[in-house]
Amino acid sequence: MNLNANANGLAGLRVMVIDDSKTIRRTAETLLKKEGCDVLTAVDGFEALAKIADQKPAIIFVDIMMPRLDGYQTCALIKNNPQFRATPVIMLSSKDGLFDKARGRVVGAEQYLTKPFTRDELLGAIHHHVSTVPTSR
């Protein structure tokens, strides 16, 4: 799939990035905003859950290793809520272990990206998991 084919294909898409690393949040936010996404960020699962209920993102990227509520717990809580069960959750981790990937699947994550991720990996995950990309009207 050529991700450059439709430059405005992600315009208005609400994406959430949950990571305790300011660098990762800023990097993802910058990349996604360049594609026209409406980006929400949170430093941990607790902050994210309130924003998710309020803002209803189309896709969620969540770091595994976070204080208070880790990525697995956050993903499980999102997937256990009937309103957000269908929302794609992509796990982010600096670890590339088989166990981590399997555990992500158990809690309902759709995909697992290893940090540092590339622009194409981030956009590829969105294109793969979000079936209806909004068009600007």
Count of domains in the chain?
1
For residue 4, being part of any structural domain is answered with no
This prediction has a pTM of 0.88
**Could you tell me the residue range of the domain that residue 57 belongs to?**
14-127
The candidate with the shortest Cα–Cα distance to 63, out of 37, 41, 83, 81, is 41
Residue 136 pLDDT > 50: no
* Residue 6 or 16, more confident: 16
Domain of 23: which CATH number? Answer: 3.40.50.2300
For residue 98, being part of any structural domain is answered with yes
For residue 97, being part of any structural domain is answered with yes
Over the stretch 13-65, which tens digit does the pLDDT of each residue have? 999 999 999 999 999 999 999 999 999 999 999 999 999 999 999 999 999 99
